[in-house]
Structure 1
Amino acid sequence: MKLAIVTAYPPSKVTLNEYAYHLVKSFRLKEKVTELILLTDVTSGEKDIQFEEDGCKITIKECWKFNSYSNTTKVLKAVNQTKPDAILFNLQFMKFGDKKVVAALGLMLPLLCKRKGIPTIVLLHNILEQVDLGSAGFTTNKLAQKVYNFIGTTLTKLILKSDLVAVTMEKYVTTLVDKYKVDNVKMIPHGTFEIPDSPTQELPEGPLKVMTFGKFGTYKKVESMIEAVEIVRKETGLDLEIVIAGTDNPNVPGYLANAKETYKHVPQLHFTGYVEEVEVEPLFTESAVVVFPYTSTTGSSGVLHQAGSYGRAVVMPNLGDLATLIVDEGYRGEFFEPESVESLANAIKAIVTNNDYRIELGEANYKAATAFPMERITDIYLEEFNKIIDKKK
């Protein structure tokens, strides 16, 4: 099978590029896949396809740009040139741009590819019905939210015209089936990127690192975490380092720079900036606890799956999709009230002052992560493509 994947891809900074890297890393080792065709966004640096193990041929076609009105035409041209046997779209609603028309044109691609007779699966990481538009940084204006919801419903109908829509949570399946009366939606778990053998719970000497990882500024805010750690320092006397790993959300440029200036008086506060793939493992394994300073959620959390794969204890709000993952996949964490700095401080303190509890949480999360390795997830996608191919025959 010549499998095409339409996605952002490292060194891209467009959302879901990291997920695509791990999809490719797994797909390339499958016997059924003879060639991977990456239909990616244009980047200044070379695409990261250097893997330790040999795999199938990888062809890269840089054929779209974030917020470009010509994306649809250029991606279809690349499809015509490469002639894939099947196409997987790695999507969320603002994948191709944050301009409404650009986003809409890009999301028409699955339908257009299906009409060409190419088996088409869309991996949809979030659905608008489950997103708090205000907290997620789209808009707080009630009228604008109604417009977004109308547009979202229209685009979802387009996406559902593909052969199969894969979502990462069972509640997403229920929502889409109930609202749109379709039967081509399936839950395929997010999956875990890297699963080291029995990750160590030993921490490096020096301060305990309290880390958060992501794109910040909308529903992910660092202020509460910084202030919470300061409270824990005062109450316990512990030597704690605050690690803010990641970049601004595209909707809030300059957010982290402002936070860095605002809290420049806080000791042992470290902003890493963009985290390269090779830096991810030490970032997690050197951390005592991973914090999710979220006020809402917009999909299955890749960071929680990463924290689990490295056996880390986590602190998170008991809301939305994070709460669902606790129930569905068996992750564990110390919870806090989303709007309360004091509650967050108590949650962090519960872990950093109790080493046995930290280890217990980390081991439970590792067990949850090992249930859905990326190798298993990519097998499911190949099985679904084969079903589509057989049906078309």
Structure 2
Amino acid sequence: MKLAIVTAYPPSKVTLTEYAYHLVKSFRQSEKVTELILLCDKTEGEKDIHFTENGCKIIVKECWKFNSYTNIINVTKAINATKPDTILFNLQFMKFGDKKVAAALGLCIPMVCRMKKIPTIVLLHNILEQVDLESAGFTSNKLAQKVYNFIGTTLTKLILKADLVTVTMDKYVTTLKNKYEIDNVKMIPHGTFEIPPNPSQKLPTGPLKVMTFGKFGTYKKVESMIEAVELVRKETGLDLEIVIAGTDNPNVPGYLANAQETYKHVPQLTFTGYVEEVEVESIFTESAVVVFPYTSTTGSSGVLHQAGSYGRAVVMPNLGDLTTLIEDEGYRGEFFEPESVESLAKAIKAIVTNDAYRIELGETNYKAATAYPMQRITDIYLDEFFKIIERKK
């Protein structure tokens, strides 16, 4: 199979790049894939396709830009030139831009592929019906929210023109089927990127690291975490380091720089900036606890699966999607009430003051992560492609 993947890809700073990296890493090792075509965004740096494992040939076609109005034309041209047998889209609603028209035009591309009779699957990481638009940083204006919902419904109808739309949570399947009265939606789990054998629960000497990882500024905010750790320091006298690993959300440039300036008086506060793929493992394994300082959620959490794969204890907000994910996939963590620094401090304290509990949570999360390795996930996608090909025959 000659498989094309439409996605942002490292070193791109557009969302879902890390997921794309691990999709490619896994797909290329399958005997069913003879060639991988990356239809990805244009970046200044070279695309990270230099894997150590053997695998199939990879062709990189940089054919779209964030917020470009010509993406639909350029991606279609790249498809015509490369002639893939199948196409997988790695998407969320703001994938092609944060401007409404640019985003909408990009999300029409799966429908174009369906019209060209190319077997097409869209992996949709979030659905607008389950997003709190205000908390997620879209808009607080009620009229604007109605407009966003109308646009979201229209775009979802376009996306559903693909042969198959996959989501990472069962409740998304139920929502889409009930609202749009369709049956081409399926849940395929998010999957776990890397699963090192039996990660050690032993921490490096020095301060206990309380870490958060991601793109910050919209519904992921670091202020509450910094203030919560300061409370825990005051109450326990523990030597704690705060690690903010990641970058600004593209919609909120300068957010982390402002936070760094605001909290420059706080000791042992580290902002790592962009974390290269080779540095991800050490960021997680050196941490005593991984915190999710979210005020909302927009889908399944890749960071939770990473934390699990490295056997880390987690602190999570008591929010719908994350709570559901933990119940469905067997993860465990300490919960806190969003917007409450005191509640977050209590959750962090419960783990950093009880080493046996920290280890228990980490081992449970590792067990949950091993249930869905990325190779298993990509095999499911390949099976679905072959089913579509058979139906088209």
* TM-score using structure 1 length: 1.00
Q: Give the alignment of 1:251-266 within 5 angstroms.
A: 251-266=251-266
The one-letter amino acid paired with 1:83 is: K
Q: What residue number does 1:328 align with?
A: 328
Distance 2:231 2:127 in 1: 37
Q: CA deviation at 1:358?
A: 0.1
Q: Secondary structure at the match of 2:247?
A: strand
Structure-to-structure mapping, 1:46-195, within 5 angstroms: 46-195=46-195
Match of 1:250 in 2: 250
The whole-number CA distance in structure 2 between the counterparts of 1:340 and 1:114 is: 47
**Alignment partners' CA distance in 1, 2:283 and 2:138:** 30
2:289 maps to which residue? 289
How far, CA to CA, are the matches of 1:68 and 1:319 in structure 2? 34
Structure 1 residue aligned with 2:272: 272
Give the distance between the partners of 1:107 and 1:93, measured in 2 at CA. Answer: 8
Q: Distance in 1 between matches of 2:103 and 2:346?
A: 41
Deviation of the 1:326 alpha carbon: 1.0
Q: Summarize deviations over 1:57-111 as a string: whole Å, max 9, x none.
A: 0000000000111100000000000000000000000101111111111000001
> Could you say which residue in structure 2 is the equivalent of 1:379?
379
Shift of 1:249: 1.0
State the 1:252 CA deviation: 1.2
Cα distance between partner residues in 2 of 1:227 and 1:46: 38
**Aligned partners of 2:340, 2:154: CA distance in 1, in Å?**
37
- CA distance in structure 2 between the partners assigned to 1:269 and 1:299 by the alignment: 29
Q: Percent identity?
A: 85
Q: For 2:335 and 2:255, how far apart are their aligned partners in 1?
A: 25
Cα distance between partner residues in 1 of 2:322 and 2:32? 34
The number of equivalent residue pairs is 393
Alignment RMSD, CA only? Answer: 0.5
- Residue 171 of structure 1 aligns with an amino acid whose one-letter code is K
The CA distance in 1 between the partners of 2:185 and 2:5, in whole Å, is: 19
**Segments ≥4 residues shifted beyond 3 Å:** none
Query: Which residue in 2 is equivalent to 1:343?
Result: 343
Please name the residue that 2:390 is paired with.
390
Which residue in the other structure is 1:211 paired with?
211
- Give per-residue Cα distances to partners, 1:13-61, cap 9 Å, x unaligned: 0000100000000000000100000000000011000111110000000
Counterpart for residue 196 of structure 1 = 196
Alpha-carbon shift at residue 318 of structure 1 (Å): 1.5
Query: 1:204-262: CA deviations, max 9, x gaps?
Result: 00000000001111111111100000011011110000000111111111111111011
Runs of 5+ unmatched residues, structure 1: none
How far the C-alpha of 1:385 sits from its partner, in A, is 0.2
> 2:303: which partner in 1?
303
Amino acid aligned to 1:151: I
Q: Which residue of 2 aligns with 1:360?
A: 360
Distance in 2 (alpha carbons) for counterparts of 1:251 and 1:27? 31
Distance in 2 separating the partners of 1:98 and 1:219: 15
Q: Could you say which residue in structure 1 is the equivalent of 2:44?
A: 44
Q: Deviations over 1:349-371 (max 9, x none)?
A: 00000000000000000000000
Distance of 1:153 and 1:170 partners within structure 2: 19
Residues 297-347 of structure 1: per-residue CA shift (max 9 Å, x gap): 000000000000000000011212110111100000011111110111010
The separation in 1 between residues aligned to 2:65 and 2:347, in whole angstroms, is 41
Q: SS where residue 296 of structure 1 aligns?
A: coil
Shift of 1:144: 0.2
Whole-Å separation in 2 of the counterparts to 1:343 and 1:105? 42
- State how far apart, in whole Å, the 2-side matches of 1:341 and 1:53 are: 44
Note the C-alpha offset of 1:388.
0.1
Matched residue type, 1:142: K
Provide the C-alpha distance between the structure 2 equivalents of 1:253 and 1:60, rounded to a whole number of angstroms. 28
Secondary structure of 1:349's aligned partner: helix
CA distance, structure 1, for counterparts of residue 89 and residue 235 of structure 2: 49
Cα distance in 2 for partners of 1:167, 1:93 equals 13
